[in-house]
Amino acid sequence: MTSTAITVGIGPLTENDIVQVARSGAQVEIAEDALVEIARSRELIEALALAETPVYGVSTGFGALATKHVAPDMRTQLQRSLIRSHAAGMGAEVEREVVRALMLSRLSNLATGRTGVRPVVVQAYADLLNAGITPVVYEYGSLGCSGDLAPLAHVALVIMGEGRARLADGQLVSGEEALLSAGLEPILLAEKEGLALINGTDGMLGQLVLALHDIDELCNLADAAMAMSLEALLGSDEPFEAELVGMRPQPGQQISAANVRAMLRGSQIIEDNRGPQKHRVQDAYSIRCHPQVAGGVRDTVEHARRIAGYELASVIDNPVVTPSGRVVSNGNFHGAPVAYVLDFLAIALADLASISERRTDRLLDANRSHGLSPFLADDPGVDSGNMITQYTAAGIVSEMKRLAVPASVDSIPSSAMQEDHVSMGWAGARKLRRSVDGLRHVIAIEFLNASRALELRAPMTPGPAASAVIAQLRTSVGGPGPDRFASPELIAVSDMLLDGTLLTVLDEAGVDLHDLHH
């Protein structure tokens, strides 16, 4: 194992750990101290398995069947049956990065030594991750309580040599073939181990952590796009002055306004629009109030990040092996804390996309764009220009508003009313991922239109930051001119947001963008 591996079991995972393993294929290793603690707690489980007193998950059935005692010679079958029956997912395959994130989160829980599994089971998860084997997990199946049961069960199937998985190259194979390809042996689960593999909030948590990483970048990109729109609309930079925004000490607002100031530094358009020739006293809310909206998103992200940090430091299992040596049933698997912030973030992102779309519409409307051609068209009437890009943005924003309806307020009882209140956190995580994707597209559309509008302002010149963005966009996207196939250009801009190209360009141009996390 290389020195750059993520070591699990010496403390909580970090957000960066999750991102590196999920997206960059970082290797993982288990701390030696953790293996010792794992073995110690396993001894306790094995002792309880021999006792006459029934212990949930060790010598009983599950859920509403918890009152049924299971004889010792049937307990291996009990764990195997649990995984098979709970692997009941349906729908589309979940993304590789999500599966890897939830596997790492579950591995971290197992490595605490508080779940009672054997070291060989913990190592099996590390081996799958390091081999690039990704169990096939389906979109539907989790209620976000008693853990993300179905998604985690599909993962557990593969270490048993069952189910289906994708190899590092994406090839779809059986669980048995996946293990053989990496020289791994199937695991025969013993008492409590099946339960420990599925009783966690790891799916919703992994998706939350990945979303937090993405939203940080998108908030900076939203600030950059807004600043370019402001220049293109001959707006004022006065509302973003430190003295003014400092009168309302919301942390996110301060950061967003500072980013706008950094983007506008050196703008000749801004300088030319100062003084008595200035033709407007105030800009529209979608420009003037951007730091208040984007800053509110940042503050929401920090709240969600705090909740994610608590969850990354948690032991989620039922029953759990306490440090004092007890095996106790509990409710820590309930996903409510994570579910709430997943919903909160979807609300915030819908609003950030909404204010971006309003600026795009303003850039395209000749009645409000202060001298720009209708829809930024080359020959209005013959050409429609970028008219339909606003339609695309509006359609995405409308969907994001629907996705902002909370999942966590819903609960459908399950398991014969034993599990009579659930979090729906997995559903919240799935819709947040779609919201993140939607926001990226909406901001890309604003960049596309702001850059074209700025070029149409020639010979007026924008600042170095906007000029650097425009130069990068022109490597894949044409400038003003007759109508052409729009979709590839929109996708090209969105891809530059996704892969970090535009943030890199701004950094290289000396634009110092910040977020609350960094």
Report how far apart, in Å, the C-alpha atoms of 282 and of each of 232, 236, 237, 245, 450 are: 15, 8, 11, 16, 20
Sign of CA dihedral 297, 303, 309, 312: negative
**pLDDT above 90 as % of the chain:** 84
Where does the pLDDT of residue 278 fall: very low under 50, low under 70, confident under 90, or very high at 90 and above? Answer: low
Q: Is the pLDDT of residue 248 over 60?
A: yes
Residue with token string 């609350």: 516
Q: What is the mean pLDDT of residues 32-59?
A: 88
**pLDDT above 70 as % of the chain:** 97
Q: What is the mean pLDDT of residues 105-130?
A: 97
- For residue 265, the surrounding DSSP H or E stretch is none
Q: Is the pLDDT of residue 2 over 50?
A: no
Q: What is the pLDDT of residue 214?
A: 98
Q: What is the pLDDT of residue 73?
A: 76
- The larger pLDDT score, comparing residue 444 to residue 67, is at 444
Q: Categorise residue 163: left if φ over 0, alpha if ψ from -120 to 50, beta otherwise.
A: left
Query: Could you say which of 56, 138, 310, 340 is catalytic?
Result: 56
Q: Is the pLDDT of residue 281 over 90?
A: no
What domains sit in the chain, N to C, each tagged with a CATH number? 6-200 (1.10.275.10), 207-508 (1.20.200.10)
Nearest-Å Rg of the Cα atoms of the chain is 26
Map residue 337 onto helix, strand or coil: helix
Q: What is the pLDDT of residue 77?
A: 87
Report how far apart, in Å, the C-alpha atoms of 30 and of each of 42, 114, 152, 263, 353 are: 16, 15, 20, 44, 41
Q: What is the mean pLDDT of residues 292-317?
A: 97
For the ranges 288-292, 412-416, 462-466, which has the lowest average pLDDT?
A: 412-416
What are the pLDDT digits (tens) for 466-484?
999 999 999 999 999 999 9
Q: What is the pLDDT of residue 68?
A: 74
Q: What is the pLDDT of residue 279?
A: 58
What are the pLDDT digits (tens) for 493-510?
999 999 999 999 999 999
Q: Is the pLDDT of residue 1 over 50?
A: no
How far, rounded to the nearest angstrom, does the alpha carbon of residue 54 sit from its chain's CA centroid?
40
CA distance 330 to 315: 11
CA distance 168 to 277: 62
Q: What is the pLDDT of residue 54?
A: 80
Where does the pLDDT of residue 517 fall: very low under 50, low under 70, confident under 90, or very high at 90 and above? Answer: low
What are the pLDDT digits (tens) for 420-450?
888 999 999 999 999 999 999 999 999 999 9
Is residue 298 within 8 A of residue 516, CB to CB? The reply is yes
What's the mean pLDDT when you consider all of the chain?
94
Q: What is the pLDDT of residue 48?
A: 86
Please confirm, yes or no, whether 56 is among the known catalytic residues: yes
What are the pLDDT digits (tens) for 139-172?
999 998 888 999 999 999 999 999 999 999 999 9
What are the pLDDT digits (tens) for 167-188?
999 999 999 999 999 999 999 9
CA distance 452 to 84: 56
Scanning 372-411, the segments in alpha helix (DSSP H) are 387-403
Q: What is the pTM of this model?
A: 0.95
Tokens of 477: 């996207």
Q: What is the mean pLDDT of residues 231-252?
A: 96
CA distance 61 to 201: 21
Tokens of 503: 């943030």
Compute the CA torsion angle 76, 80, 81, 86 (nearest 10 deg): 140
Q: What is the pLDDT of residue 177?
A: 98
Is residue 116 within 8 A of residue 42, CB to CB? The reply is yes
Map residue 14 onto helix, strand or coil: coil
CA distance 276 to 378: 32
Scanning 115-192, the segments in alpha helix (DSSP H) are 119-131, 149-159, 175-181
Tokens of 189: 């689960």
Nearest to 271 by CA among 223, 235, 227, 245: 235
Nearest to 177 by CA among 135, 126, 124: 135
Q: What is the pLDDT of residue 131?
A: 98
Fill in the DSSP letter of residue 30.
E
- For residue 112, the surrounding DSSP H or E stretch is none
